[in-house]
A = this chain, B = another copy of it.
Amino acid sequence: MKAIIVRRIERADEETIHRLEAFGVATIHEAQGRHGLMRPDMRPLFPAARLAASAVTVLCHAGDNLMIHAALDVCRPGDALVVAVKSESRDGMFGELLAVSCVARGVRGLVIDAGVRDSSTIAAMGFPLWSKAICAQGTAKSSAGSVNVPIVCADALVHPGDIVVGDHDGVVVVARAAAQDVVRQAEARETRESSTRDRLRAGELGLDIYGLRARLKELGVEWVDAL
């Protein structure tokens, strides 16, 4: 694979992005058929971190953040950086200066399958990010990689311009072409869940609401009074 930097990508419309943000990761994951979720190792830097944005994708050599710098050059306000590494690393590939630069360029957040540093400063800035480690280990700027090519980040396939959504449950990726349909499915799901929530609150059981007693019987599960 050649090392390239793609300048122009298609992005999702902001309206769709905002609606996805409101649903949150768990609902979107369900709405699109339980697809696109990153590994649970990806944790937010601070509990209130929330993100929904078009992804500028970055593929770096482990321990080298040269391509993150290159990616900032093609970012537009409202984008998020989504960074994959060619082999496993927890090095601190992103720190305060890059966060300052992101804020200056209007980059909305970061998802990185590696480590970050200057963590308390970045948290104080309120810049939302998801990473698999916090680690002060510095990185080189010597190895080629790519920007805006399809990447695998924390087990999820991300195409440039896909919408990446993050909250306290983790990170999910929504394909740009599917985004509006996912919004519709998520709305339908929320409507259903809202009614279910009311019934559960009133003391009904999921066992009855979802018709699971029959399934338990089919599966041969037996009720006994005592062991």
A contact set with B: CB distance below 8 Å: 1-9, 24-26, 29-30, 32-35, 37, 39-40, 43, 47, 61-64, 66, 69-70, 72-73, 86-92, 95-98, 100-101, 103-105, 115, 117-120, 123, 133-138, 140-146, 148-150, 152, 155-157, 160, 167-170, 172, 193, 196-197, 200-203, 205-207, 210, 212, 215-216, 219-227
The answer to whether B66 touches A136 (Cβ under 8 A) is no
> CB distance A221 to B69 under 8 Å?
no
Instruction: Report yes or no: A90 in contact with B88, Cβ–Cβ below 8 A.
Output: yes
- 8 residue pairs A–B, Cβ–Cβ below 8 Å: A29-B138, A37-B135, A40-B134, A47-B120, A64-B140, A69-B210, A70-B212, A146-B221
Separation of A133 and B157 alpha carbons in the complex (Å): 22
Chain B residues with CB under 8 Å of A3's CB are: 33, 219-222
The residue of chain B having its C-beta at the shortest distance from the C-beta of A101 within the complex is B200
Give CA–CA (A149, B123) in the complex, Å.
Answer: 37
Among residues of B, the one whose C-beta sits closest to the C-beta of A142 is B142
Given that A39-B88, A89-B89, A143-B142 are contacting pairs, would A6 and B118 also be in contact in the complex, using a CB cutoff of 8 Å?
Answer: no
Give complex CA distance A136, B37 in Å: 7
- A2, A200, A222 pick with most chain B CB within 10 angstroms: A200
